Amino acid sequence: MANETEKSTREPSFYEAQTGWKSWAFTLDHKRLGIMYLLSTMIFFFVAGMSAILLRTELLTPQGDFLPWLNQGLASLFGNPITEEAAKAQSGTTFNKLFTVHGAVMVFLVIIPSVPGALGNFLLPLMLGAKDVAFPRLNLASYWIYTIGACFFLYTLFAGGLDTGWTFYTPYSTSTGTAVISATLGAFILGFSSILTGLNFMVTVHKMRAPGMTWYRMPLFVWAIYATAVIQVLATPVLAITLLLLIVERWLGIGIFDPAMGGDPVLFQHFFWFYSHPAVYIMILPGFGIESELIAVHSRKHIFGYKAIALSSVAIAMISFIVWGHHMFVSGQSELAGIVFSFLTFVVAVPTAIKVFSWVATLYKGSIEFNTPMLYGLMFLFTFTIGGLTGVFLGAMSLDVHLHDTYFVVAHFHYVMMGGTIIAFIGGIHHWWSKMTGRMYHEGSAKIGALLVFIGFNTTFFNQFVMGGQGMPRRYYTYVPQFQQQHLLSTIGAYILAVGLMWTAAYLLWSLRKANKKIQPDNPWGGMSLEWQTQSPPIEHNFHGTPRVDSDPYNFPQIDRTGEVDGSH
């Protein structure tokens, strides 16, 4: 199918329709903005990943050797050498800054904007059969607001960094000498970007659906992005006001959070987690959406429990607003509040389990294709389930008293965020790679990459559950020697994971080379949702005319996988 005659009948893709830097910087095309988000988030993923590698390298030895050596080396490189003692003395702060950079960049610049910004922007209008999102100019604005927020973060890095952790807890954040205001302003601005994206997606889902695209005919990815958008719109304003109050507190000392001025530091935690707990669902719900697509398309079976999966996303979005107190079991909150929050936290497990069981039931008797997107889909089922269930441990009050602030929390969070969202995101990138770029990656290389990521990830984080249970506290730069074996294992895992991710980036970029430019089938997986019913990469206005929908996107025809599927089933 990759012959010249067919090539000439194809319309120019959205890449070819316009050229020049202005066609990117001022584009109103959701697909171009999706690509721009993809590139930006991946650059920051690299930055945050490198800081994680530095952290893990430091933790190879219990007494702190690597960062002092690095600090000394850097100091002499810049022409003002320091003594070994001085280097050792400042390395604790360096460690704090590194984990803050890792956490804040991953949360605010990578995970929150990654799936909605990149895949959501690219796919949402395509999946709904629309020409664009409801407000294309707002979409462009929200990308540039994202870059302004990112600049504030970069400024923070060059202004000496930030050592509060990504949570900016008071009173430390109002008293530390590091660049709190620029970092919180950055997060404040990024919040606006997130709100505007969420608002845009909500209106798009409500108003831009093609004729016949009823709510229950929408792909589950759209449902997930919709639920995410609702949380973004309702929770992020509270973050905005929290950070604003924190900035004012630091600047003018109004005394609302600072106990020395008569304020209440726990109030900050309430404010912060009222946003940041829903925010972890902003991060994971899009991953659920991708997972539904991966599992259904690559096992070629109608998704099990469509309505249950769709509505459980909405249920998670709603419950997410009333569980924030489980971050504060040991902050002096009342026992009654603790019990209520603990119970509500367990309730989240219900809609989440509905999803997991539905995915497993979808696989049952499906024609499972073990290609790369499916491998990531299965990996997600494995790692996310571990992450989700250990979340129930932490939601139990008595257990949390023992486990809070240990590596158990670190492992849990990475199993849901990395093992959940990022794994799903990488799977999604593979699934829609040919849709976005018109190229196909090398399948063998991709499988090697998936294996490296899987081994690396589990080696890094699994034994952190054990370490945390044994009492290894998080955020420490030195530790007692009994944990060295386990830290060594974690660090080796982190290196394998880094190699796996670099390898993945490498073969994906390699697939973009000129020699690979043969026309791929528009629909390599035989997907039935609307995004597969147009050219890959799509034309500028997505579809020729407005598509009409008469069935749901998981009605796979009973055919073999060798040929392309035609849309009329």
Partner 1 sequence: MSTHDAKAMRPPGAIDPPMPLAHHFDTAGQQAGSAKFGMWVFLATEVLMFSGLFLAYFIVRMLYPEMVLSSHELLDKTMGGINTVVLLTSSYTMAMGVRAAQLGDKKGLVRNLVLTIAFACVFLVVKYFEYTGKFSHGIFPGKYFNYAEAGAYAMEHGGHVLQGKPHIFFGLYFVMTGLHGVHVVVGIGVLVWVLMRAKKGQFGPRYYAPVENVGLYWHIVDLVWIFLFPLLYLVR
Using CB under 8 A as the binding criterion, the count of chain residues that bind partner 1 stands at 41
Alpha-helical segments (H) within 253-264: none
Q: Which listed range, 1-9, 131-139, 331-339, 454-462, lies at the site for partner 1 (CB under 8 A)?
A: 131-139
User: Judged by CB under 8 A, which of 12, 81, 160, 253 binds partner 1?
Assistant: 253
Q: Interface mask (CB under 8 A) for partner 1, residues 143-182, using x and -? A: ----------------------------------------
d(CA 302, CA 219): 12
Check residue 256 for interaction with partner 1 (CB under 8 A).
yes
User: Judged by CB under 8 A, which of 53, 70, 199, 399 binds partner 1?
Assistant: 199
d(CA 167, CA 88): 26
Element (H, E) at 188: helix 180-207
Tokens 């249970």 locate to: 469
Q: Which listed range, 5-13, 151-159, 197-205, 377-385, lies at the site for partner 1 (CB under 8 A)?
A: 197-205
Identify whether the C-beta of residue 279 lies closer than 8 Å to the C-beta of residue 417: no
Give least dist CB 106 to partner 1, A: 25
Numbers of helices and strands, H then E, in the chain = 21, 0
d(CA 490, CA 137): 45
User: Judged by CB under 8 A, which of 11, 264, 369, 405 binds partner 1?
Assistant: 264
DSSP string, 131-148: SS-S-HHHHHHHHHHHHH
Check residue 237 for interaction with partner 1 (CB under 8 A).
yes
Check residue 190 for interaction with partner 1 (CB under 8 A).
no
Q: Which listed range, 164-172, 235-243, 388-396, 416-424, lies at the site for partner 1 (CB under 8 A)?
A: 235-243
Tokens 């420490």 locate to: 476
Comparison of 314 and 455: residue with beta carbon closer to partner 1? 314
Residue 544 region by backbone torsions, left for phi larger than 0, else alpha for psi between -120 and 50, else beta:
beta
Check residue 200 for interaction with partner 1 (CB under 8 A).
yes
Identify whether the C-beta of residue 207 lies closer than 8 Å to the C-beta of residue 116: no
SS3 567: coil
User: Judged by CB under 8 A, which of 62, 92, 165, 255 binds partner 1?
Assistant: 255
Comparison of 236 and 312: residue with beta carbon closer to partner 1? 236
| Residues near 560 by beta carbon (within 8 Å), at least 6 away in sequence | none
User: Judged by CB under 8 A, which of 238, 378, 496, 565 binds partner 1?
Assistant: 238
Comparison of 134 and 356: residue with beta carbon closer to partner 1? 134
User: Judged by CB under 8 A, which of 47, 126, 187, 202 binds partner 1?
Assistant: 202
User: Judged by CB under 8 A, which of 92, 136, 469, 521 binds partner 1?
Assistant: 136
SS3 473: strand
Least Cα distance to 512 among 38, 41, 111 occurs for 38
Comparison of 273 and 479: residue with beta carbon closer to partner 1? 273
Give least dist CB 207 to partner 1, A: 4
User: Judged by CB under 8 A, which of 131, 302, 442, 447 binds partner 1?
Assistant: 131
> Distances from the Cα of 315 to the Cαs of 278, 308, 375, in angstroms?
12, 10, 28
d(CA 268, CA 173): 11
d(CA 234, CA 500): 37
Q: Which listed range, 8-16, 74-82, 128-136, 504-512, lies at the site for partner 1 (CB under 8 A)?
A: 128-136
Check residue 447 for interaction with partner 1 (CB under 8 A).
no
Identify whether the C-beta of residue 485 lies closer than 8 Å to the C-beta of residue 463: no
d(CA 504, CA 500): 6
Check residue 271 for interaction with partner 1 (CB under 8 A).
yes
Give least dist CB 409 to partner 1, A: 26
User: Judged by CB under 8 A, which of 1, 43, 241, 502 binds partner 1?
Assistant: 241
d(CA 443, CA 364): 25
d(CA 292, CA 299): 11
Give least dist CB 194 to partner 1, A: 11
d(CA 246, CA 254): 10
User: Judged by CB under 8 A, which of 50, 70, 141, 234 binds partner 1?
Assistant: 234
Comparison of 12 and 211: residue with beta carbon closer to partner 1? 211
d(CA 356, CA 471): 31
Question: Angle, nearest 10°, between helix axes 407-416 and 443-469?
Answer: 150
Site for partner 1 in 525-544 (CB under 8 A): 541
| Residues near 115 by beta carbon (within 8 Å), at least 6 away in sequence | 225, 286, 287, 289, 290, 421, 424, 425, 428
Check residue 124 for interaction with partner 1 (CB under 8 A).
no
Check residue 548 for interaction with partner 1 (CB under 8 A).
no
Check residue 244 for interaction with partner 1 (CB under 8 A).
yes
Check residue 188 for interaction with partner 1 (CB under 8 A).
no
Check residue 499 for interaction with partner 1 (CB under 8 A).
no
User: Judged by CB under 8 A, which of 74, 151, 248, 480 binds partner 1?
Assistant: 248
Contacting positions for partner 1 (CB under 8 A): 130-136, 195, 199-200, 202-203, 206-208, 233-238, 240-242, 244-245, 248-249, 252-256, 261-264, 267, 271, 541, 546
